[in-house]
Amino acid sequence: MTLPADWPEQRETLRCIATHVLARARFAASGRFSLEPTAGGFGTPTFTTSDGSFRRLRITVGAGAYLVDEQIAAAGAAARYLPLFGTTIAAVADAIGVDLDAEFSAGHESPVLGDPDRELDVDPSAVAVVAAWYVLGAQAIDRSIDVLTVRAPSVARVWPEHFDLATDIEVAPGRRCNLGASPGDEWYPTPYLYVGPWGEERPGDDGYWNAPFGAVRGYADIVDTEAPLFTATAFFHGGIHRLGA
């Protein structure tokens, strides 16, 4: 899937929505802010609201890009679709009851909200890229953990601070690492997979460890292959094998 020409801007807009709309909404209700991949995008897990109903908020693609507000209460279930083109973060937050003035942080590198009244220009293809990247990353992580039977894996979640899908695993007694799929950042502007050891060890050949925090494999080097899932899984395998040997 081709990245939009303005990918960094699209990515950061979605990261801001993920942090200051979705994560804020979940945090206000449950004290937790992690997100998860959803059909066609990303969103909150289902959480319980103050009135005892169940709610899920997600970003998805239809005729355009939308925030979907799904609620299940005693009176029945309902969903609202809020377009993300030509609106503002303030308007979307207000529509779903999110207080942008409330103190909130998803980590010390959380994106700055900026002007909440700036007009949003969310490209549906950017949402589709993020969705597909998270799915590929999650599948590759699952296959890596399953095949190598590593110890004590945690659940892969979308962390709004860095807007990445990530988990951590124990590859050997006392030795852990992160496995993740990032849509990019200031250091590496396009999506990439990464293996991030918690310690200073970088065993095996130096060619694999190509990043300050561990190892990365870029978007084109994954999706432009004949078997992207195999390539992604092999990359994670490489890090786990080196660190666990």
User: Domain ranges in the chain?
Assistant: 7-122, 128-244
- How high is the pLDDT of residue 163? 97
SS3 of residue 7 by DSSP:
helix
| Beta pairing, strands 36-38 & 157-159 | unpaired
- Give the residues across from 55 on adjacent strands: 47, 71
For residues 13 and 30, what is the distance between their CA atoms, to the nearest angstrom? 24
End-to-end CA distance of the chain: 35
pLDDT at 153: 62
In sequence order, which residues have a C-beta less than 8 Å from that of residue 41 and are 6 or more positions away?
Answer: 58, 59, 60, 61, 127, 130, 131
Task: State the pLDDT at residue 166.
Answer: 96
- What are the pLDDT tens digits along the chain (245 aa)? 799 999 999 999 999 999 999 999 999 999 999 999 998 999 999 999 988 899 999 999 988 999 999 999 877 899 999 999 999 999 999 999 999 999 999 999 999 999 999 999 999 999 999 999 999 999 999 988 875 555 556 678 999 999 999 999 988 888 899 999 999 999 999 999 999 999 999 998 879 999 999 999 999 999 999 999 999 999 999 999 999 86
Phi (first) and psi of residue 125, to 5 degrees: -65, -30
pLDDT for 190: 97
